[in-house]
Structure formats: structure tokens, C-alpha cells
Amino acid sequence: MFSRESSAKNSIGPNRFRAFRGMRPSGLPPWRFYCSRRDGDKSELKVKSEKCKIKEFIMDKKQEKSSKEENEKKERHDELAKVFTENPLSKIEKPAKRTRLFFAVVLFALFFGIAGGILGELAVNYWLLTGAVNLPWFNKLRLDQYLPTKEIIVSKRESVTVAQDAMVSETVKKLGESQAVFFNKFSADEKSAHIYNETRRAVQGIILTNDGWMAAPLSGLAGKPSEYFGLDSRGESFNIKKIIPDRFLGIAYLETDAQNVQPANFADLEKISSGSLAAINDSFKQSVRLAGIDSMSFNQKAPEEFSDKISRFMALDSDLPQNFFGSGVAVLSGELAGIVLDDDSVLRIDFVKSRLKEAIDEGKIEQGFLGVSGISLKSFLEKPLLERKGILVGSLDPKGTGIAAKSPAAKAGLRDGDILLSIDNEEFNGINGLAEIMADYRKGDEVEIKYLRSGKERTVKIKLDALPIK
């Protein structure tokens, strides 16, 4: 039976069959198919013919351009192929590598650029803030006026100086509040007893507790309590109820009737180093002196050592006049480090503080009395360093002796020429002096002393007496 599909497939092929049915054969562009059709009237065919010519012209140009680009691409490919054929890869010159020297130069330039910027900023800050550059126009630049008001900067041409005026002022204020001045009473009449002036001043002292316990140099309070009165920083007078002498330290603990007074804050002496700045205040004349701390433990009598009076003091870089005796020595934190005893003796505050409770509770200080003095072997330079331990009993005075008459040491048989090694196994090593070890002992205590005599080590136990008043 006749089939249209099979007939078309077998006779005219698929594209011819599609054309026969009025359909666009595959592979023929739409515009070509459109232009190949001849349906429509004459006017339509004329317009259609013009459109097809324009479209055909455009498409020919595009095909010509595409063909040109393809030819150029093929030519470049052929040229590259020719280059690689005539010149193998091993013969082609490679771009020059950047050497290590180049990178080293870059790194050095970067480093020195940053360092120069930092140093330049520091230099400018130093010159502008301190006036170190001695140029009239340069010194007019005052950067301190732009700084925060809480920052205190002192500009000096001579040296870089950190301003301490505010700290000193605050320290002196705290020190003045914790000090009192003692006067000799003008008369026994209570109404006129508290009249005072500079000629009636005995000494000044420091306030230890807010209920009126104070301390002052013993040398300024040789009389009875009723012969003196005190004046605090508020201008209020008070009476002295009791004077408790401590002859070992050279101070007197005072019980007064002053109330609600401002006590001193005690400094941690381990945090204070040589070179620290300290303030000393004359509370009556309202004068202040600044001094540097040369040493926290200086033996003024070196190389001599004494068992019955303190020998190691704080050392300041300048002597003090009498009107400063009894003043506290305060570091710039406002804390008390010591008390001035005389022109070159400043007693460390830890000694004062350690015996205050005993004075309050017992009403007396009964320091143990041994009766020995000697010379530290640290001063004998002909001996090897490790052998310079101990104290040679004796005196620098050719007519003197190192054993006090009728003292516990004399009764125990100690004599000049003995070398003391330790007291209760605490050695004399140059840091611990004889007095500093004996400071903790009281009347009636027994101590064990090791010493050398004629090269042999010996031991003796000694019971201490009370320190004589003389």
C-alpha cells in the first residue's frame, strides 16, 4: 500500500520532503528559507526581494570577517609553530630573575625607613617638650599647652626632668598631718601653760595612732611629761600623759590626750631603694627639705659594732639642721620611711613600729643588755672574703675595751680578742649587725653565743640584764 512517508524517504530525502511540505529543511538558516519561498503577490515579492538582498549582504560581510579572523589566527599559529621549530625551548632566552641582592636591598630600606621614623618622632618629642634645641623660633613651640591638664611636664633646656612638684606637695601635706611639735610649758598655770614660740620648742615627733600615741627623739624630751605640751597640724594643743624611753633606739614613745589625729602610713622598706627621693618637714616653721636616700642600712660607727644601741641607720645625701630633728622622712608616695634623730641619723620606721605594741601594752621597753662591742671582720681586707665573718671583741681606742664592766658578757668570761660567730645560730655576716640581732631580746632572755678563742670554737649561754639608764 502506498505510504507518503516511505515514498518521500525513498525518493526525495528528508530535506526535500520538508521543503515539499512547506517546512524549513535542517541546516538552512531561517532567512534563507524565507527568501527562497515565492508565495505572495507581486508587491510583496518586491519588498521581500529587497529585504533578502540586504540580509544577504550583511551575512556575507559577517562571513567574510569571520573568515578573515580565522585566517589571521591560523597565520599566528603558523608563526609560533615556526619559532618553536627553529628555536628549541632550551635556546629561548628566559626573563632575567630578580637576584637575592635586590630583595635584601628592599628589606634593608624598609627596616631603616621604619627605624628612622620612630627615632625621628622621639627626637622631635624630646626637643619640643624639653626645649633642648637652642633656637629662638624653635623654643616658642610649647607642646605642653596641648597636653591633658592632669599631666605635669616641666620644660628645661639643660636636662630632661620629670615634674615632681605635685607629688612633693601631696607628700608634704600628708607628712605635716601626721606630725606634732612639742614645747616646754611656759608656766605651771594651766591658762598660760600652752603659750608657745620658737624659743620654747623642744622637738617635733610623728603620730603613730589616731588615739594619740606618738614618737620623738629621746634627746629632746629629757624632762617629765608635765613639763611639755604638743601642737598638732590642726593647731590644737594636747598634753603628754606618759613618756616611755627606748634608749636602745634613742626615741621616746609618748602617750598623749590628743584625739582623732591623723597617724602616719608606714612604708614597706623593701620597696625603697637607694636614690629614692624623700621629703623632710619642719611642721612649726612650715619649711620643707628634699633629700636623696643613699642607703637603707648604714653603720655610722663602722667598722665598730655595739650590742646595746642601734648602729645602722638610713643615710641621706645631706645633713639636716636642728629644726628638722623629730621630723618624719617620707618617700614621694606619702608613706613614712624613718624619723630624724639628729643631723645625720635617721632611724628606720620598722624599728619604731616593731616596739610600739610593747610600749602600749607593757608601758615600758626593757631592752636586754649584753655589754659587748667589737670590730666587724668585714673590714679586715687581708683575710679571704669567705673568712670575713664574725666580730672581734675589742675597741678602736687603745685604752678602751670591748667588754663593759659588770656586764653579763663580763660575768660569762668573754674578753677582748674573742671572735663572736653567732647569737642563737644567727651569724654576723655583715648584713646582720650585733645591735640588729640583739634588738629582739629583752631583760631575762638567755642567749647562746658561739665564739673563737685561740682558734678553738666555744659556746657560752648568757642571761641578759636590763639595759642601764646611763
Give per-residue pLDDT as tens, 182-222. Answer: 999 876 666 556 677 788 899 999 999 999 999 999 999 98
Which pLDDT value is given to residue 1?
Answer: 42
Please check the confidence at residue 97 and state whether its pLDDT lies above 50.
yes
Which pLDDT value is given to residue 125?
Answer: 63
Single out the residue in 346, 362, 378 at which a domain terminates.
Answer: 362
Single out the residue in 92, 120, 136 at which a domain terminates.
Answer: 92
Examine the domain organization and report whether 288 and 322 are in the same domain.
yes
H-run or E-run covering 42 = helix 42-86
Give per-residue pLDDT as tens, 394-424. Answer: 998 888 999 999 999 999 999 999 999 999 9
In contact, 294 and 316? CB cutoff 8 Å: yes
Examine the domain organization and report whether 53 and 6 are in the same domain.
no
Examine the domain organization and report whether 374 and 350 are in the same domain.
no
336: containing domain: 269-362
70 vs 98, higher pLDDT: 70
Domain membership of residue 262 (yes or no) is no
Which pLDDT value is given to residue 410?
Answer: 95
In contact, 435 and 335? CB cutoff 8 Å: no
pLDDT confidence of 36, banded at 50, 70, 90? low
Examine the domain organization and report whether 126 and 143 are in the same domain.
yes
Domain membership of residue 191 (yes or no) is yes
Examine the domain organization and report whether 383 and 459 are in the same domain.
yes
Single out the residue in 233, 256, 279 at which a domain terminates.
Answer: 256
Domain membership of residue 97 (yes or no) is no
Domain membership of residue 264 (yes or no) is no
Examine the domain organization and report whether 350 and 373 are in the same domain.
no
Give per-residue pLDDT as tens, 339-389. Answer: 999 888 899 999 999 999 999 999 999 999 999 999 988 877 666 655 668
Which pLDDT value is given to residue 143?
Answer: 45
Question: What DSSP designation does 309 have?
Answer: S
Please check the confidence at residue 335 and state whether its pLDDT lies above 90.
yes
Total number of residues shown for the chain: 470
Please check the confidence at residue 171 and state whether its pLDDT lies above 60.
yes
Which pLDDT value is given to residue 284?
Answer: 81
Domain membership of residue 382 (yes or no) is yes
Examine the domain organization and report whether 178 and 242 are in the same domain.
yes
Domain of 405, CATH number, reads: 2.30.42.10
E strands, 100-173, are 153-154, 161-162
Domain membership of residue 263 (yes or no) is no
Domain membership of residue 437 (yes or no) is yes
Distance CA 198, CA 452 (A): 54
Which pLDDT value is given to residue 8?
Answer: 41
Give per-residue pLDDT as tens, 146-158. Answer: 444 444 444 444 4
Domain membership of residue 419 (yes or no) is yes
Domain of 246, CATH number, reads: 2.40.10.10
In contact, 260 and 242? CB cutoff 8 Å: no
In contact, 232 and 258? CB cutoff 8 Å: yes
For 17-21, 306-310, 368-372, which range has the lowest pLDDT when averaged over its residues?
17-21
Examine the domain organization and report whether 372 and 462 are in the same domain.
yes
244 vs 98, higher pLDDT: 244
Give me the number of domains the chain comprises. 6
